[in-house]
Amino acid sequence: MKRRAFITLIGGAAAAWPLASRAQQSVKIPRIGIIDDAPIWDHFRRGLRDIGYLEGREIAFEYRSADGEPGRLAAAAKELAAVPVDIRGTAATRAAQQATSTIPIVMIAIGDPVRAGLVPNLARPGGNSTGNSMLGAEMTPKRAQLLKQLVPQLSRLAFLWNRNNASHLAYLDEWRAAVPKLDAQLLFIEVSRDEDFEPAFEKMVQERTDALSITADPFHLSHVAWIIDFVAKHRLPTMYVLKENVVAGGLMSYGPSIPDLYRRAAGYVHKILQGTSPADLPVEQPVNFELAINARTAKAIGLEVSPMLLSLADEVIE
C-alpha cells in the first residue's frame, strides 16, 4: 500500500496565475497543487465546490507525484512552489516550509504540528502555515478504553511507534498516562526501518501481547497489508486509526473522520484566498470521530465482540 498524498499547495490571492483565456482576455485564477493525488482528495475538491469554487473557472489544480516516497517530497514541493501554489502533511509540510516562506501552507490531517516544530502553537500558528490536525486530546484514552472493552483480559498492550515521526512523542506521553488506568503493562515497539518489522512483531508474540495499537504513520501504513496479515495469523487484536484499515481486514479503528478533515481544509483555502493570513488562522483539531469494527475479522481470530460495543460502532463490517 502506498502512502496517501501528504501535500497540498494552495495559491494565495496575490499569487493567482493565468490558466485560460476568455473573450480573448487572460483570466487569472488561483492554483492549488496536490502531490500524489488519491481518492481522499475528492473530499477536499468537493468542499471547494460546496463553497462555490468551480475548477477551471474560480480555481485550478496542479498535480505532482512523489510516488509516496518521503525523499521525493522536497523536489515536488520545490516544483509546486515555483508555479507558485501552497501545501500539507508532517514530512510534506516540512518540505514545503523549506521550499517557501511566503506561499500559504495548509496542512491536512497531520500529527502534532507543535511537537513537530511546524508551528509554535495551535491558536496562533504564525508564519505561512496553518490547517488541521488528526490528533485530539481524548483519543488515546478512548482507544485504551475500547481495547479494554474488546479484550477484557487485557494485561499487555503494545504500541507501534516510529522514531522518525515527531508526532509520536505526543502519543508516547498519552499512552503512558492512559495504560495504568487499565491495570495493564505497556510495551513500546519501535519500527523505523523496513527490517524492523519482522523482529519487532515476533517479539510481541514471544512476550504474549494481548493487543496492539498503531497510528496513521505513513511509513507504517505503507506496510499495513503485511501488518493486517501478521496480526490475523497470530490472532492479535489490533486497534487502528483509519477506518480504511478496518475495511481492508483490520479489527477495529477509532479516529477522526479523515474525509471531514479534507472537507474542512477547503474552508482554509477560501479564507486565505479572501485575504486572511495563515498566521491568523488557528490550527483545528478534529471534531468528528468514527468507530469501525470488522466483525468478520473478530470471528476469524476467535474474538467475541459484545453487543454493547457493536452498538457504539459507526460502521460494522459483517
Q: Do residues 146 and 295 both lie within one domain?
A: yes
Exposed (0-12), middle (13-18) or buried (19+): which is 255, by Cβ within 10 Å? buried
CB 131 within 8 A of CB 106: yes
Q: What is the span of the domain harbouring residue 175?
A: 139-255+289-317
Residue 1 lies in a domain: no
Chain centre distance of CA 195: 24
Residue 162 lies in a domain: yes
Q: Do residues 295 and 196 both lie within one domain?
A: yes
pTM of the predicted model, to two decimals? 0.77
CB 69 within 8 A of CB 288: no
Q: Do residues 190 and 270 both lie within one domain?
A: no
Q: Do residues 104 and 180 both lie within one domain?
A: no
What is the model's pLDDT at position 295? Answer: 97
Q: Pairing mode, if any, of strands 238-240 and 211-213?
A: parallel
| Per-residue model confidence as pLDDT tens for the chain (318 residues) | 232 333 344 322 222 222 332 333 345 788 888 877 777 889 999 999 999 999 988 888 888 877 656 677 788 888 887 876 655 555 677 778 888 888 888 888 887 888 778 899 999 999 999 999 888 767 899 999 999 999 999 999 999 999 888 778 888 988 998 888 888 999 999 999 999 999 999 999 999 999 999 998 888 988 999 999 999 999 999 999 999 999 999 999 999 988 899 999 999 999 998 899 999 999 999 888 999 999 999 999 999 999 999 999 999 999
Q: Do residues 25 and 50 both lie within one domain?
A: yes
What is the model's pLDDT at position 16? Answer: 26
CATH of the domain at 69: 3.40.50.2300
Residue 165 lies in a domain: yes
Q: Do residues 168 and 115 both lie within one domain?
A: no
Distance CA 150, CA 254 (A): 13
Q: Do residues 100 and 190 both lie within one domain?
A: no
Q: Do residues 231 and 271 both lie within one domain?
A: no
Residue 2 lies in a domain: no
Quick one: CA dihedral 191, 195, 197, 198, positive or negative? negative
Q: Do residues 241 and 131 both lie within one domain?
A: no
Of 101, 81, 117, nearest in space to 8 by CA: 81
Q: Do residues 206 and 311 both lie within one domain?
A: yes
Distance CA 289, CA 260 (A): 9
What is the model's pLDDT at position 8? Answer: 41
Q: Do residues 274 and 148 both lie within one domain?
A: no
Exposed (0-12), middle (13-18) or buried (19+): which is 19, by Cβ within 10 Å? middle
Q: Do residues 157 and 304 both lie within one domain?
A: yes
What is the model's pLDDT at position 39? Answer: 78
At residue 91, the 3 state secondary structure works out as: helix
What is the model's pLDDT at position 309? Answer: 96
At residue 157, the 3 state secondary structure works out as: strand
Total domain count, the chain: 2
